[in-house]
Amino acid sequence: MPIRQLKVSGVRNLQPLDLSLHSGVNFIYGPNGSGKTSILESIVLVAAGKSFRTSQLKHVLTHDADRIEIEMNVEDESLGECHLDSLRLKGGDHLLKLNGSVLTSQAEASHWLPVQVIDPTTFRLLSGSPEERRQFIDWGVFHVEHSFMEQWKTFRKQLKQRNSVLKQKEDEWLSVWTKGFIESALVIDQYRRDYLKRFKPEFERILAALDPDTKVQLAYYPGWDKDSELADVLERQQERDMVLGYTQAGPHRAELRIKVDKQPAAEILSRGQQKTVVAALKIAQGAMFQQESGRRTIYLVDDLASELDEKHRFALCKLLEDLKCQVFITSIDKEKLTDIWKPEDACLFHVEHGCVNQESF
């Protein structure tokens, strides 16, 4: 699943670039503020339709630029080859193309680019909102269950309609939309349950390889009382839902609970341990994606040395190497990239003042 060629202009302080990339490991080093993370950000902009660093396009756009243009050539073991173009205008308009044809959905680009980011803020997967953990589950389901996206759209439509009825106090329509809501909700819930049942043992294996001393438990909460049927919960909450004007229970309230000795992991583990656990979650998700689809995840590891000691850096890198996938790893120091791990298939890039140059090891 390598990105063979990457062209970028208009992203932060990066000078317009045109890089031929390695199908294995791409090391990127340079001082803080040089632009190395912006290379990873450019990839994510196409893969996910948004930055992993900010929600506002104006912060990504080069000063005085009126647009961001990103192109990439992608090769996939199963899907073949494609050319992706992303154009984002300062005013907010966005045009995304696949082989010259305009895409109407971000999901089509995401399908071609199964990207996982591991960066200094990834511990938020443990300490952040339940929505972040729902998105983590749904990334895995989306990339292995072809019908999930359509089912998700159906569920969102049913939820929106039910909430509209609740806000308008239209009692006579509530039962109709509640019936459809329950049907679609149970489909989404089953997708997630099936996925997590397969995911847990893979996560445990990866975490043991990264840090055998850290023990973490994963528990899934569907978004309503697990000992009750969703229909019964909605009936009990109907009056309160009508007062609030929205649906309190359902898959939109689901949660992946990550615990240590029955306590939230974010409250027990050190920052370093949290990052190790999140790295295990991300690597396990990519490994499972590979097992079930025959395709490979693209890993973007920003600031490798941050909060990981030499032992854990080596373990992380070896796991990524074993997956034989494309990896982008950034660091301030060249030595932090190459002192403990020198994969056979790799290339090295140096970034300074927004200029990117390939170097020999």
24 is in an annotated binding site: no
223 is in an annotated binding site: no
270 is in an annotated binding site: no
31 is in an annotated binding site: yes
127 is in an annotated binding site: no
35 is in an annotated binding site: yes
Separation between Cα atoms, residue 203 and residue 1, nearest integer Å: 22
Neighbours of 194 (CB within 10 A): 13
One-letter amino acid at 150 equals: E
Helix (H/G/I), strand (E/B), else coil: 220: strand
357 is in an annotated binding site: no
Residue with tokens 């503020």: 33
117: Cβ–Cβ under 8 A, 6 or more apart, which residues?
Answer: 40, 44, 52, 282, 300, 302
One-letter amino acid at 134 equals: R
Tokens of 345: 């298939």
Q: Is the separation of the CB atoms in 220 and 192 below 8 Å? A: yes
148: Cβ–Cβ under 8 A, 6 or more apart, which residues?
Answer: 138, 141, 142, 191
Cα torsion at 277, 283, 288, 291 (round to 10°)? Answer: -150
154 is in an annotated binding site: no
The DSSP bridge pattern shows strands 298-301 and 115-118 to be parallel
Residue with tokens 């034989």: 324
Return the CA Rg of the chain: 22
Neighbours of 180 (CB within 10 A): 16
Annotated binding-site residues for ATP read 30-37
Annotated binding-site residues read 30-37
